[in-house]
Amino acid sequence: MIKVGIIGATGYAGAELVRILTGHKDTRIVWYGSRSYIEQKYADIYRNMFQIVDTKCLDDNMEELAGKADVIFTATPQGFCASVINEDILSKTKIVDLSADFRIKDVEVYEKWYGIEHKSPQFIKEAVYGLCEVNREQIRTARLVANPGCYTTCSILTAYPLAKEGIIDMNTLIVDAKSGTSGAGRGAKVPNLFCEVNENIKAYGVASHRHTPEIEEQLGYASGEKTVINFTPHLVPMNRGILATEYASLKKDVTAEDVKAVYDKYYKDELFIRILDEGVCPETRWVEGSNYVDIGFKLDKRTNRIIMMGAIDNLVKGAAGQAVQNMNLMFGLPEEEGLRLVPVFP
């Protein structure tokens, strides 16, 4: 039985980790860490856990937790994990970090986009970017995994095969993405109030969103060339889900059958990636509550472009589900253990 600690267990991603791991046959949560709710019963914060989780929240003492847990999930704001991690902790336990602290390999890029000093750059090179479908073998032997962001997971996986095969011009890639409000976290913020979000859609972080360099870096690895994109996220009035619509010019003359064959080459054996039939567009409602990624595409011969579309649940495949998928790989478990979650509808 794998002993699990969660720091940030009362945020949305942390709560989703609790939900998933409660149904995982090989894990036992030994630490529900939450700086805001120390000594409060977890089920009093999330009543869906009444008579399921009967324990109180603890603090965020990583040093103490490292001696009690086989793996620690840090579902915390940027900067926390980097500020507390050290060699002694990593010698005792594995870490899956859901923040951006170890996703970007260039520390200067991280500090520029996140506006904070990186406190432990010595671990950046070692950290494995936890996109399971791309870095599976490296994840298996990792001590420290950088769990990808929600927008980045959807954006990268949607374009990855075509970038890898040199089918799209990486200098023309535009990512237009929409997210539900849970992507902004559980903190009380005026822009996330019901009256601010309901009956509205808005762009934010235009030409400045912090997931931009992460997408560029990973698709740059895939394509083998420097990649600079336009990424525009939007907030929509729903709880969960991300839909990414991506546009790029074609470098090769391809048919829909050719494109489908490329996606199948990379994803046909991937349980959690579903390539839709031609003409079927992904929708967030068909992945809600699950670890699936639905991907569709449409060739536009008139403009010589391809439109790629991807949908995920931002809290599952975009956060907690992917983190558990990473944990399964790190401990030699079946990758899908605890994650065969059928999408919820309606």
Tell the burial category of 161 from Cβ atoms under 10 Å away from its Cβ (0-12, 13-18, 19+).
buried
Shared domain for 66 and 175, answered yes or no, is no
Of 126, 143, 161, which residue is a domain's last? Answer: 126
Q: Is residue 132 part of a domain?
A: no
CA 269, CA 304: separation in Å to the nearest integer? Answer: 30
- In terms of domains, do 155 and 120 share one? no
Interval 165-189: pLDDT, tens: 999 999 999 999 999 999 988 887 8
* Residue 62 and residue 165 share a domain: no
pLDDT at 186: 84
Q: What is the CA radius of gyration of the chain?
A: 20
Please indicate, yes or no, whether residues 270 and 167 belong to a single structural domain of this protein.
yes
Q: Which pLDDT does position 278 carry in this prediction? A: 79
92 and 236 share one domain? no
Task: Let me know whether 255 and 297 are in one domain.
Answer: yes
* pLDDT (0 to 100) of residue 52: 97
Provide the pLDDT confidence category of residue 89 given band limits of 50, 70 and 90: very high
Domain that includes residue 263, residue range = 151-314
pLDDT > 90? residue 311: yes
CB atoms within 10 A of CB 1: 9
Percent of the chain residues topping a pLDDT of 70: 100
Decide if 340 is inside a domain. Answer: no
Per the domain annotation, does 262 fall within a domain?
yes
Number of domains in the chain: 2
Give CA–CA dist 14/319, Å, rounded: 9
| Percent of the chain predicted with pLDDT > 90 | 96
Q: Are residues 160 and 86 in the same domain?
A: no
Specify the pLDDT at position 188.
76
Q: Is residue 319 part of a domain?
A: no
| The pLDDT value given to residue 192 | 84
Catalytic residue among 57, 81, 132, 150: 150
* Domain match, 178 and 307 both: yes
pLDDT for 189 equals 85
More confident residue, 216 or 191: 216
CATH of the domain at 189: 3.30.360.10
Enter the tokens of residue 280: 């079927």
Whether residues 198 and 255 fall in one domain: yes
pLDDT of 87 strictly over 90: yes
Claim to verify: residue 106 and residue 61 sit in the same structural domain: yes
Domain shared by 210 and 304, yes or no: yes
Query: Is the residue at 325 inside a domain?
Result: no
At 99, the pLDDT band (50, 70, 90 cuts) reads very high
Residues 236 and 282 in one domain: yes
Residue 277, in any domain of the structure: yes
CA 342, distance to chain mean position in Å, is 19
Mean pLDDT of the chain: 97
Residue 193 lies in a domain: yes
User: Rounded to two decimals, what is the model's pTM?
Assistant: 0.97
- Report the CATH number that the domain containing residue 12 is assigned in CATH: 3.40.50.720
The verdict on whether 154 is a catalytic residue reads no
Distance CA 84, CA 101 (A): 11
139 within domain boundaries:
no
